[in-house]
Structure 1
Amino acid sequence: MARVLRLAQRKLYAYALASSSSSSSSSSSSSIRTVTNDFSRCLHSRDAISTALSQTRSYGAEAMPKSPIESNILRVLRNEIEYQSEYAPPQQPVSEFNSFTVQDRPGEQCITMRRKFGDQEEIKIDATMFDGYEDVPKFGDDSSGVNVRLHISLLVDISKGEGGSELEFLCSAWPENLEIEKVYILKRDRSRAIPYMGPDFRTLSAEIQDKFVEYLKARGVNNELSVFLHDYMKNKDRIEFIRYLGNVKSFVEK
């Protein structure tokens, strides 16, 4: 099946999964390795394309028959979509988590979360899909192998009122915990071309680190959020993969 899909990509110059990696700080014990996890944007729904095709055929000549290669590609894609949709089908994405609203971005690699805190503060979180990993040793009988620990990047913006600055946190969300990588002030007008972004978080004193961790925990940016994001992105990964297959199939069907 993989061989046929690769042939389809070469034949039709269809979307290929491109290597992309978000720049994220490495953990103190090992560096985060970037992984391929980029999905094509959904520009047209399959229903809209089917309707447009049927209208075109009703007013024009009959569509040209598909070549044996194209017919085979379509058969493989249909089978794969059916399999992926029936085997562990994705769930409808949730729209809320604790005090946050969750805004999915269909066809994109990010989601946005928002909430208010107190009378003034607005909190906005942009979270990626899985954008890296690190190897961790296995324990027990199969101690010779390694497990993969997936990584998600978070950008947490905390603002107070209109026209002011934002306190911004660059964070790493691991399956069971959240780590702060950077803390800096960002001007809303982005007037400075290269603003000073502050030191690496781990170089700050232990007391300052603890206070910032408490600061985020009070606003719901904590280990529980990391667990939620990993569950959410696993589901989104399946949704986007099925969407990607549907987009490729729609292109070939034209």
Structure 2
Amino acid sequence: MSTESLQKSSFESNVPTESLRKSPFESNVLRILRNEIVYQSEYAPPHQPATEFHAFTVEDRPGEQCVTLRGKFGENETIKIEATMFDGGVMLPKAGDDTDSTTEDMCLHISLLVDISKGEEHVLGFICSSWPDHIEIQKVYIVRCDGSLTQPCMGPNFRDLDKKLQSALLELLKARGLWWGLHVPES
């Protein structure tokens, strides 16, 4: 046997014969999947993100990691919510796992910037964290409509406020639909 024919036969044996080894069933399933992918990418209408969520309009900003929700309350009050993608979290013990206390789950949250304006004077702002079962207010601040802060700081920590004021601010958000349904659903 010549070296040329030996090299040729060893080369041919290394050629992948994967397509020859597939069963007719596997080949048919692959063909159907390829056809469906081609159809979905060429003919199916593109997925349109939601434009409404409860009483808010949704402004998706493609390429950014933020979405804006806008709404109205009453005659002249406007609400703007800027929500980020998942941007933080904490490790919590796994639910229902009494045997191994070292097992933990990541609990993710989304940051929310909430602006409530009435007329053209000032904006009441909130920095919030949206957790799987609730929304937590971190800070409260007041902004002029020109965008500048009335004070050089972002306001007090919410937990440092008087309990009655905390309750009133929570009720203010709830009355405007900023509570239920805006938290991060558990997976």
Whether these two folds match at TM > 0.5 is yes
The partner residue of 1:148 within 106, 113, 117 is 106
Q: List runs of 5+ in structure 2 lacking aligned partners.
A: 1-36, 41-46
Aligned to 2:172: 215
Contact residue 127 and residue 139 of structure 2 kept, 8 A: yes
Structure 1 pair 108/214, CA: closer, same or farther in 2 (3 Å)?
same
Q: Compute the displacement of 1:196 (Å).
A: 3.1
1:115 to 55, 58, 71: 71
Distance between the aligned counterparts of 2:88 and 2:77, measured in 1? 31
The higher-RCO structure (CA 8 Å, 6+ apart) is 1
The farther-off stretch of 125-134 and 139-148 is 139-148
1:103 aligns with 2:65: no
State the shift of 1:191 in Å: 4.6
What does 1:1-254 align with in structure 2 at a 5 Å threshold?
92-138=48-94, 139-140=96-97, 141=99, 143-162=101-120, 164-191=121-148, 195-227=152-184, 230=185
Structure 2 SS opposite 1:108: coil
- Give me the whole-angstrom Cα distance separating, in 2, the residues matched to 1:194 and 1:159: 17
- The structure-2 alpha-carbon separation of the partners of 1:207 and 1:188, relative to structure 1 and needing over 3 Å to count, comes to same
Counterpart of 1:132, as a letter, is: G
Q: Kindly tell me: are residues 224 and 192 of structure 1, through their superposed partners in 2, closer, same or farther at Cα, counting changes over 3 Å?
A: closer
Q: Which has the higher strand share?
A: 2
Deviation per residue, 1:137-172 (Å, 9 max, x gap)? 01325543100000110000011123x110001100
Cα distance in 2 between the residues matched to 1:187 and 1:180: 20
- Unaligned 5+ runs, structure 1: 1-81, 86-90, 235-254
TM-score of the pair, normalised by structure 1: 0.51
Contact 1:151 1:175 in 2 (8 A): yes
Distance 1:110 1:203, change over 3 A: same
The count of residues paired between Structure 1 and Structure 2 equals: 143
CA separation in 1, counterparts of 2:149 and 2:123? 14
Q: TM-score, normalised by structure 2?
A: 0.68
